[in-house]
Structure formats: structure tokens, C-alpha cells
Amino acid sequence: MIESMQSFTASLPPMLQWVGVLLIAAIPFVESYFGSVVGVLGGLNPAVAIAAAVVGNVVSMLIFVLSAHRVRAKVAAGRAPKEESPRRAKLRKAFDKYGVAGVSLVGQTILPSQITSAAMVSFGAPKNAVILWQVISIILWGTAFGVAATFGVSLMG
């Protein structure tokens, strides 16, 4: 899968390869962490790769959060909540235990930031708090993986 993403990015003109990283990082389960790795391994400057991956992931997450917020507002107006799926119940338990910050920072190890952030908003978490902590998390994860990829490439080269 990473090879396919690298091929896609490499197929773009060199001045637009960061756009490929941005698009790849917007995909749930790829996110800023794999997006930055693809960019670094594809030969982009690590700072450019990480920045493009973070921006792509943040834009995607914002779409999910704002959509979930709108849907929650419409559904909450006059309806009783449905029974939760086991996966959603597990996420709610983590949310209740760790709060927005904890779920945002650690949640990406379980589910993509887009799904985690939308779920937190649907649980009633403040939209702005979710956005703030998700952006912090996306930056941290993207930077950590981008730096690791950079050192991995440097050690091998």
C-alpha cells in the first residue's frame, strides 16, 4: 500500500509532489503519520513532507468534525439516542475516561482521527476542543513518523 502511494506521489511533477502527500494524508487510516513517511521516502524535504501530510489530515478531519456536528445538531433535536455498537461503546468508554485530549492524542492508535473526532463530537464533546486537540495530535503523530522516517532513511543511505 505504501508503495502504491509512493508511486502516485512520484508520478507527479517534482514541484507538485507535496500535493500528492497532502491528498494521501487526507485518507482515513493513512493520516499524517503515513503521509509524512510516504513524502520522506519519496524524496521530499522532511519539513515539506510533514507539513503537507499534516495539512491534508487536518483538512480531512475538519470536514468530518463539522459534518458530525451538523448531523448531531439535527438528530439531537427531538430523537432518543440509539443503542451503540460495540466499537462505538469502546470509544465512548475511552472518551469518558480520558476526555477529549486523551482520546485525541492516543485515539489514532485505534481509529483514524477523522472517525475518532466525529465520534467525540457525536458524544457531545465541544467541537472547538475536539478540533484543537485533534490538530495537536495530528501534528505530533505526523512529526514523529516523519522524523523517524528521516532518520531511518539517513541510517540506510
* Buried b or exposed e, range 15-46, using 16+ CB within 10 angstroms: eebbebbbbbbbbeebbbbbbbbbbbbbebeb
Could you report the per-residue pLDDT of 1-16, keeping only the tens digit for each? 777 877 888 888 888 9
**pTM given for the model:** 0.83
Within the chain, what is the greatest distance between any pair of CA atoms? 61
Which residue ranges make up each domain of the chain? 2-156
Could you report the per-residue pLDDT of 22-80, keeping only the tens digit for each? 999 999 999 999 999 999 998 999 999 999 999 999 999 999 999 988 887 777 666 66
pLDDT band at 19 (very low <50, low <70, confident <90, very high): very high
What does the alpha-carbon distance between residue 38 and residue 150 come to, in Å, rounded to a whole number?
A: 11
| Contact status, residue 15 vs residue 47, Cβ threshold 8 Å | no
| Contact status, residue 8 vs residue 115, Cβ threshold 8 Å | no
What does the alpha-carbon distance between residue 119 and residue 96 come to, in Å, rounded to a whole number?
A: 12
Positive or negative CA dihedral for 17, 55, 51, 6?
negative
Helix 17-25 to helix 46-76 angle, to the nearest 10 degrees?
A: 30
What does the alpha-carbon distance between residue 64 and residue 61 come to, in Å, rounded to a whole number?
A: 5
| Contact status, residue 42 vs residue 17, Cβ threshold 8 Å | yes
